[in-house]
Amino acid sequence: MPRMSLAALAAFAVAVPGAQAQQAIQDWAPIDALTQTVAGAMGRTAAPIDRRIKLQRCPEQAAITAIDSQTLAVRCASLGWRVRVPMTGGAGAAPGFTASTSAQPAAPVIRRGDAVRVSFETTTFAVAYSAIASEDGRVGDTIALRGEGNRNTLSAVVTGPGRASVAE
């Protein structure tokens, strides 16, 4: 009898970590609902997140932000993961845009040749530097910028007049 209870205890010990491991995988259904809500507010539709993605469950509410007018980012800051979610559908409002009844697009806030303050921010540090715009851009647009020596190019999202941000 002691061997059976020892075997039963061993089977229980093996089964419990497996159950906890399954619970530790992120459930994408509620996040899909949130991305649809955010995309809907922008007049767009978010693509469902691929269920083959296996990430550790975020201990807090995952943050959903617009990277640009065609992409959302789902982030878990405490675990450091990020998933990009493409959007489809209408033109929608990019971050920083206000709804307008006219069909005319908003004027660019950065013009080609403008000096632009580019920032890159994470939870642990922030870096900012100057670059020159290679093209016009409205808030939410991704534009090309030239760094020092005109050989270094990068893409950044326009965040306001003379300002842009590099996505993680």
Tell me the pLDDT band of 116, cut-offs 50, 70 and 90: very high
Q: What is the mean pLDDT of the chain?
A: 76
pLDDT, greater one: 146 or 123: 146
Domain 93-168 coded CATH 3.20.20.140? no
Question: Is the pLDDT confidence value at 7 over 80?
Answer: no
Say if CB 72 and CB 84 are below 8 A apart: yes
| Mean of pLDDT values over 74-96 | 76
| pLDDT at residue 21 greater than cutoff 80 | no
Lowest mean pLDDT, pick from 2-11, 16-25, 65-74: 2-11
DSSP for 125-167 reads: -EEEEEEEESS-B-TT-EEEEE-GGGT-EEEEEEEETTEEE--
